């Protein structure tokens, strides 16, 4: 099952929060958080008018991930606020179910305080004891230096680079694929 035991952790600013499995009650905050990040511009494939998730579809995703062996969806909350989330989605076939892709997003005002490290580490800890998982991968824009720095610090290495993978504000941007073996 895609669940973890909840854990209290302290951020760099001294605030305490909880790392836990996402529940459907988090869906409204997650959708709002994601809309805010998409509006910022440089981090997402979708532009604001292309974002299709709703509270209903996000709730369905949260339920699906909780009931799947090889998937995990985590949030880090401070009080009642969802500060960020991570979702890891493994592939569907038996030959590829040991691996998959994750994405992680932190609310702007909570960045640089350790939430990203907590969420990625939480996913990796889950993966180490998960019966299916052997490898975790991700795609990141080559321009996203902060995210690449975090992933490198946590042991991810470059798997490949896809040249001219996106056109952002009329300019080509490469995407970088990174991976880490979990066993
Ligand atoms: C990228 C992101 C997930 C990182 O999360 P965060 O909570 O801001 O990061 P943290 O506070 O946990 O810090 C991450 C670590 O990387 C380091 N780091 C960050 N930017 C760095 C840089 N440019 N160079 C070197 N190190 C850097 C930090 O010093 C920190 O190291 P430490 O844990 O050893 O102290 C977050 O900023 C975010 O959501 N950004 C917008 C959306 C996004 O880019 N998502 C990823 C898409 S692939």
In this structure, the residues whose C-beta lies within 6 A of any atom of ligand 1 are: 37, 43, 103-106, 111-117, 140, 144-147, 149-150, 153
Calculate ∠ Cα 158-68-29, nearest 5°.
Answer: 80
pLDDT tens column, 38-92: 999 999 999 999 999 999 999 999 999 999 999 999 999 999 999 999 999 999 9
Question: In angstroms, what is the span from residue 93 Cα to ligand 1's centroid?
Answer: 32
Q: Model confidence at 1, in pLDDT bands (50, 70, 90)? A: confident
Q: What pLDDT score was predicted for residue 174?
A: 98
**Of all protein residues, whose CA lies closest to atom 14 belonging to ligand 1?**
150
**Alpha-carbon gap, residue 42 to 143, rounded angstroms:** 8
Q: Does a structural domain hold residue 164?
A: no
Q: Does a structural domain hold residue 39?
A: yes
Cβ partners under 8 Å of residue 9, min gap 6: 16, 17, 18, 19, 76, 114, 118
Copy the structure tokens of residue 8.
Answer: 């209290």
Contact by Cβ (8 Å): 126, 116: no
**Of all protein residues, whose CA lies closest to atom 34 belonging to ligand 1?**
153
Question: In angstroms, what is the span from residue 24 Cα to ligand 1's centroid?
Answer: 26
Copy the structure tokens of residue 129.
Answer: 């004891």
* Nearest alpha carbon to residue 135 among 160, 102, 104, 161: 102
Q: What is the CATH number of the domain that holds 22?
A: 3.40.630.30
**Of all protein residues, whose CA lies closest to atom 23 belonging to ligand 1?**
146
Domain assignment of residue 99, given as a range: 7-133
Q: Does a structural domain hold residue 103?
A: yes
DSSP collapsed to 3 states, 113-166? CCHHHHHHHHHHHHHHHCCCCCEEEEEEECCCHHHHHHHHHCCCEEEEEEEEEE
How far is Cα of residue 60 from the mean position of the Cα atoms in its chain? 17
Say what percent of the chain tops pLDDT 70.
100
Three-state secondary-structure class, residue 38: helix
| Phi-psi sector, 13: left (phi>0), alpha (psi -120 to 50), beta | alpha
pLDDT tens column, 137-153: 999 999 999 999 999 99
Q: What pLDDT score was predicted for residue 164?
A: 98
Helix (H) or strand (E) holding 31: helix 27-40
Cβ partners under 8 Å of residue 3, min gap 6: 21, 66, 72
Split into its structural domains, the chain has a count of 1
Contact by Cβ (8 Å): 65, 123: no
Phi/psi of residue 86, each to 5°? -140, 140
Q: Does a structural domain hold residue 163?
A: no
Q: Does a structural domain hold residue 99?
A: yes
**Of all protein residues, whose CA lies closest to atom 26 belonging to ligand 1?**
149
Q: Does a structural domain hold residue 180?
A: no
**pTM reported for the whole predicted model:** 0.98
Q: Does a structural domain hold residue 141?
A: no
């Amino acid at each position: 099952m895609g669940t973890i035991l909840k854990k209290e952790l302290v951020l760099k600013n001294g605030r305490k929060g909880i790392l836990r499995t996402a529940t459907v009650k988090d869906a409204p905050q997650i959708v709002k958080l994601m809309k805010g990040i998409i509006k910022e511009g440089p981090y997402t494939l979708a532009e604001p008018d292309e974002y299709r998730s709703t509270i209903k579809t996000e709730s369905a995703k949260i339920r699906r991930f909780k009931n799947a062996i090889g998937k995990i969806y985590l949030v880090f909350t401070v009080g009642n606020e969802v500060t960020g989330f991570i979702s890891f989605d493994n592939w569907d076939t038996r030959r590829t179910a040991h691996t998959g892709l994750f994405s992680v997003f932190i609310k702007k005002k909570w960045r640089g305080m350790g939430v990203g490290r907590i969420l990625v580490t939480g996913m990796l800890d889950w993966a180490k004891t998960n019966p299916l998982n052997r490898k975790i991968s991700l795609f990141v824009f080559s321009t996203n230096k902060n995210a690449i720095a975090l992933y490198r610090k946590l042991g991810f290495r470059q798997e490949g680079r896809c040249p001219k993978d996106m056109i952002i504000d009329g300019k080509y941007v490469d995407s970088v694929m990174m991976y880490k073996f979990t066993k």
